DNA sequence: GGTTGACCTCAACAAAGGTTCAGGTTAGAG
DNA sequence: CTCTAACCTGAACCTTTGTTGAGGTCAACC
């Protein structure tokens, strides 16, 4: 209802949840979910239906890209929360928050590379001594962001240092 | 009870679930869980308590390292299932199954690197056009193993090709 | 003004990877 | 022989990221 003309310019600028879903390729249920989690927000019509600003399209795109990079929704939400609320985010704003992902990704890639390079030494050799292995050594370990196990591997496998391979 | 001597050599070779937990740094509840999932197995004493072979220590270490690499438990279980059941796995056995992780890791690192290199182009520029962006383009996408979102990003952001940055 | 598709809320379920708790048994030290 | 730490099972609960369904409303076309 809003006004009796359904296609005035400033109405054109708003998207229904279905529009947003179609345009972003994200299911309506996921958009509702993101909204419950505070990652996106909407205005309600007098009939209680959601209307999104076009800017939301970019937020959703950012969410999906970030998830693909392996960032949990909570972190994405925190990053989005740093965007200005009083104006539409600029290229600079997006660049700033994407920089954090870039750094995160760098660290993650570095860590995975180390992991890979030690895999053969540590598992491949069959000894897998947790005490000595670089793979399982917490010192080797950084903040570990992103998916995957967060618990660190600890302590010694063989108290006597031997490993009894057979 | 087994036999009336609690410290005979072949008994020394067995670990209680508490021992295994202490040695591997994994909670007892997690070990029970791994056992329910078939990743490890135990003998039971006459009093129904678990006894693990020392070899199990290496399996648990393998599980934790694999999780750290980002492999789901089900896949780890499948890999472990290829180990010989009739003898203690050798260095060669472990090398073989770790090779698969190595390859997986290579692919994952490659993909993350591509993602990182496109991040600035795609989010950083502020346009985030899903249609054009390499980040969101399924063609760019491979099997995507490991943690993180599996759903592909799709379709166009702006039907008219423009993006209305502000 | 009626039909139909899109929308609303709330609740339940899913899968992964566990943890916690209740209620009861065992093992081993003294 | 008794005490207690460690063990057992099963069920419930947790987090994340949503999906599905039931029951009901809204909006737009003819």
Residue appearing with tokens 């072979």? B53
Q: Secondary structure of B20-83 in the HEC alphabet?
A: HHHHHCCCHHHHHHHHHCCCCCCEECCCCCEEEECHHHHHHHHHHHHHHHCCCHHHHHHHHHCC
| Token reading at B71 | 């492999």
On chain B, the residues whose CB falls within 8 A of the CB of A117 are none
Dihedral sign (CA A2, A27, A82, A94): negative
A163 three-state secondary structure: coil
Among partner residues A106, A124, A152, which is closest to B94 by beta-carbon distance?
Answer: A124
Q: How many helices, marked H, and strands, marked E, lie in chain A?
A: 6, 3
pLDDT at position B123 is 65
**Nearest alpha carbon to residue B127 among A64, A91, A25:** A91
Contact A157 B70 (CB under 8 A): no
Using the CA of A32, which nucleotide's C1' is the nearest one?
D18
Question: How, if at all, do strands A50-53 and B14-15 pair?
Answer: unpaired
Q: How far is the CA of B10 from the C1' of C14 (A)?
A: 44
Contacts of the segment B67-70: beta carbons below 8 A, 24+ positions apart: B67/A148, B67/A149, B68/A115, B68/A135, B68/A148, B68/A149, B68/A153, B69/A112, B69/A115, B69/A116, B69/A119, B69/A148, B69/B101, B69/B104, B69/B105, B70/A112, B70/A147, B70/A148, B70/B108, B70/B146, B70/B147
Q: According to the model, what pLDDT value does residue B143 have?
A: 30
CB contact under 8 A, A126 and B94: yes
User: Out of A25, A136, A154, whose CB is closest to B65?
Assistant: A136
Q: How far apart are CA B59 and CA B55, in angstroms?
A: 7
CB contact under 8 A, B62 and A128: yes
Low-confidence ranges of chain A (pLDDT < 70): 1-12, 122-166
Name the token pair of B154.
């799709």
**What's the CA–C1' distance between A2 and D14, in Å?**
43
Q: Do A95 and B124 touch (CB under 8 A)?
A: yes
Q: Which of A98, A113, A132 to mutate to test the interface with B (most CBs of B within 10 A)?
A: A98
The C-alpha angle with vertex B131 and arms to A66 and A39, in degrees rounded to 5, equals 35
pLDDT at B95: 86
Q: How far is the CA of A47 from the C1' of D27 (A)?
A: 9
**CB of A46 lies under 7 Å from some atom of strand C:** no
Residue B49 beta carbon within 7 A of nucleic strand D: yes
- Residue B63, min C-alpha distance to chain A (Å): 11
Cβ atoms of residues A148 and B68 within 8 Å: yes
pLDDT in tens, chain B (166 residues): 333 444 344 446 899 999 999 999 999 999 999 999 999 999 999 999 999 999 999 999 999 989 988 999 999 999 999 999 899 998 888 888 888 899 999 999 998 998 888 887 766 555 555 455 555 544 333 333 333 332 333 333 333 334 444 3
Cross-chain residue pair B113–A112, CB shorter than 8 Å: no
Nearest to B133 by CA among B117, B144, B145, B146: B117
Which pLDDT value is given to residue A125? 57
How big is chain B by its Cα radius of gyration, in Å?
Answer: 24
Q: Return the ∠ at Cα A125 (arms to B9 and B105), rounded to 5°.
A: 130
* Bases on strand D under 7 Å from any protein CB: 6-9, 16-20, 25-28
B114 touches B120 (CB < 8 A): no
Nearest 5°: phi and psi at A124? -55, -35
Q: Does B148 contact A146 at a Cβ distance shorter than 8 Å?
A: yes
- In this structure, is the CB of residue A19 within 7 Å of any atom belonging to strand D? no
Give the model's pLDDT for residue B129: 53
Task: List CB contacts (< 8 A) between A151 and chain B.
Answer: 64
């Amino acid at each position: 209802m809003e006004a009796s003309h359904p296609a005035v310019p400033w109405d054109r600028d708003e998207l229904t949840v279905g529009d947003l879903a179609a345009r972003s390729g994200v299911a309506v249920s996921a958009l509702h979910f993101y909204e419950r989690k505070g990652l996106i927000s909407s205005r309600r019509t007098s009939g209680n239906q959601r209307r999104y600003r076009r800017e939301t399209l970019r937020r959703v795109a950012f969410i999906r890209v970030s998830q693909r990079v392996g960032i949990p929704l909570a972190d994405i939400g925190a990053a989005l929360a740093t965007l200005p609320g009083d104006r539409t985010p600029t290229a600079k704003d997006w660049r700033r928050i994407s920089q954090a992902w870039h750094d995160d990704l760098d660290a993650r890639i570095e860590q995975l590379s180390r992991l890979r390079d030690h895999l053969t030494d540590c598992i491949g050799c069959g000894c897998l001594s947790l005490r000595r292995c670089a793979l399982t050594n917490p010192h080797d370990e950084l903040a570990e962001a992103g998916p995957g196990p967060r618990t660190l591997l600890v302590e010694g496998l063989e108290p006597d240092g031997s490993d009894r391979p057979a």
